[in-house]
Chain A
Amino acid sequence: MAYEVVEGIKDQQFTAEQYVDSIIKRIEDVDSKIRSFITVDTEGALSSAKIIDRKIKEKEEIGSLAGVTIGIKDNISTKGIRTTCASKILEGYVPSYDATVITKLKQNGAIILGKLNLDEFGMGSTTEYSSFHSTHNPWNLDYVPGGSSGGSSAAVAAGECTVSLGSDTGGSIRCPASFCSVVGLKPTYGKVSRYGLISYANSLEQIGPICKSVKDAAIIMNIISGKDMMDNTSMNSTPIGIHSKLGKLNIAIIKELINGSDHAVTRTVYSASEKFRDIGYSCDEVSIKNVDYALPSYYTLASAEACSNLARYDNLRYGYDFPIEEYKWDAYFNNVRKNFGQEVKRRILIGSYVLSSGYYGKYYLKAKMLRSLLKSELLKLFKKYDLLIGPTMPILPFKIGEKIEDPFKMYLVDINTVLANLAGIPAISIPVGFSNGLPIGLQIMAAPFQEQKLIDASLALEDTIDIQRGPNTI
């Protein structure tokens, strides 16, 4: 756990360098099988560790995250460290600036360990769409770790870093957190600055922590949150308290989400809700009217924004090696962009389709309308209930290669998670059980800026359900 690492280093039980060494050794041991990482910055990490150790010796201030090794999803800009979005198009791209979240982490003494694998540009639910390699679920290497932040979740689950950062556009933090039996939190839209997050769908996405414990998630959240003058969509909010302070909460299970789920998932989630009752929370069932329109709206809006956000990749200012001599400019652009992966191409094409002349009212406008309707419906429910819960994923993790031939089937697994992105509300996935050795996660959602309630309930559940934090062998 992050807080254990910081305490250990402060108490001089071990040095930062020793800790980082152990992490790097762990990566060397297991990453050839799990393949979470795209880039490991061993040199940078060790040098940061040495600085911390020197500061401790000289009794200087070290940050509240001193020594904590953080893996960063490879769509978050890190100055001087290659940032690829798991795409051939950015194979050679090294950012000249740090994302705001990176600056904040560094200011608090965290050690940026390396860049973690993802579905290309964040588009996918299994990390199989990475154009470099797939990542494997540490609990069973034949299975997908979820996506798009698959590398981030697998690395944490396998102990390859203390904590990690992911990004969540339609479930990309919560899905892999659920599949890897770790904690993943998507903040309220605007709580964390997006400056430096390489955009897939700007109105839907947020950066968030993926950790082994709820407490770690809260600690990281407090560091990375805050209004940022480099991001006009970011807002100020109050820090999250680490200890449960809110007493008994009112919860409701969303019927539509649990009804569409696999039996093993449903059973586990119901049993978790029983645990809530045991500790005194009231637990109801509710229905959401517009749930059927949620996923179509999500894909409409996300694809539309994506086709525009990805237009800048023409290889002129940054990118990869592709000589300009042979082509006229428009043929050059077309050929450079041929190297997007198939899923990325599909979403760009759908995006162009829904935005093209004459279709705006049919798809895009309707999708926006649904967002408003959904948000107001959820806000109404949140007047009565503190939290809404359900399974994070409707299915258990599946085998690598199982769904890849049918991209549409792949879309349907997002069905539970997109609600929070559309409405801009915070949501967490916490591990609540296993079935045949495959992890199951519970999703908890709260009203905007009510992350405290998420943390409270998650801490309470964490106390009562003893979930194994990482696989014994890999």
Chain B
Amino acid sequence: MISIEELKYLAEISKINLTEDEIDKFPSQLNKTIEYIDILENLDSDESIALDLYEINFDELRNDIVKKSDGQPIIKNLTEEGFLRGPKMK
């Protein structure tokens, strides 16, 4: 079950600020979901089951060829020299 401390920890590693209202409401809401998914414990572990459903052969992968992108993917916040301006580090 999630305490307020754990909620704050999860919010920090997910990098999300919570409002006061959310800090208030979320523990009980999340706990309902967690209780619900706890049922998975009753599923017996079976080592023989292949967990990964999809495979691809080495030959189908992308060849090492250069293609110049035609769009400009980043246009926001660029300095004159072309750097992206971000918030300070320290």
Q: Give chain A's interface residues, CB within 8 Å of chain B.
A: 79, 96-97, 189-190, 229, 232-233, 290, 292-293, 295-297, 299-300, 307, 311, 314, 316-319, 324-325, 327-335, 337-338, 340, 342, 345-346, 348-354, 356, 362-363, 365-373, 375, 407-408, 411, 424
Contact = CB atoms under 8 A, between A and B. Distances in A.
B53 A352 contact: no
Contact of A342 (B22, B45, B60, B61): B22
Given A340-B16, A372-B53, A424-B53, A317 B10 contact: no
A118 B84 CA distance: 31
Nearest to B52: A368
Interface string B44-83: 0110011111101000111000000001111011000000
B34 A190 contact: no
Nearest to A299: B37
B71 A296 contact: no
Interface of B: 2, 7, 10-19, 22, 26, 29-30, 32-34, 36-41, 43, 45-46, 49-54, 56, 60-62, 71-74, 76-77, 84-90
Contacts of A424: 53
Contacts of A363: 37, 40
B20 to A, nearest CB: 12
A334 B40 contact: no
B19 A338 contact: yes
B90 A328 contact: yes
Nearest to B11: A349
Contacts of A407: 29, 33
Contact of A353 (B17, B34, B86): B34
21 contacts: A79-B71, A190-B54, A232-B61, A290-B43, A297-B40, A300-B40, A318-B74, A324-B87, A327-B87, A328-B88, A329-B86, A332-B86, A333-B15, A334-B12, A338-B19, A346-B26, A350-B34, A351-B14, A408-B29, A408-B36, A411-B36
Given A190-B54, A331-B87, 7 more contacts: A292-B39, A330-B15, A335-B17, A338-B16, A349-B11, A366-B40, A372-B49
Contacts of A316: 77, 84, 86
Contact of A349 (B26, B71, B74, B84): B26
Contacts of A365: 45, 51
B40 to A, nearest CB: 4
A369 B45 contact: yes
Contacts of B33: 299, 346, 350, 407-408, 411
A164 to B, nearest CB: 26
Contacts of B84: 316-317
A371 B12 CA distance: 30
A340 B11 CA distance: 12
A349 B37 contact: no
Contact of A96 (B34, B37, B39, B71): B71
Contacts of B73: 96, 317
B21 to A, nearest CB: 9
Contacts of A293: 39-40, 43
Given A349-B26, A370-B43, A233 B17 contact: no
A259 B14 CA distance: 39
A351 B16 CA distance: 13
Given A362-B40, A366-B43, A408-B32, A373 B16 contact: no
B19 to A, nearest CB: 7
A353 B10 contact: yes
Contacts of A297: 40
A335 to B, nearest CB: 6
A189 B90 CA distance: 45
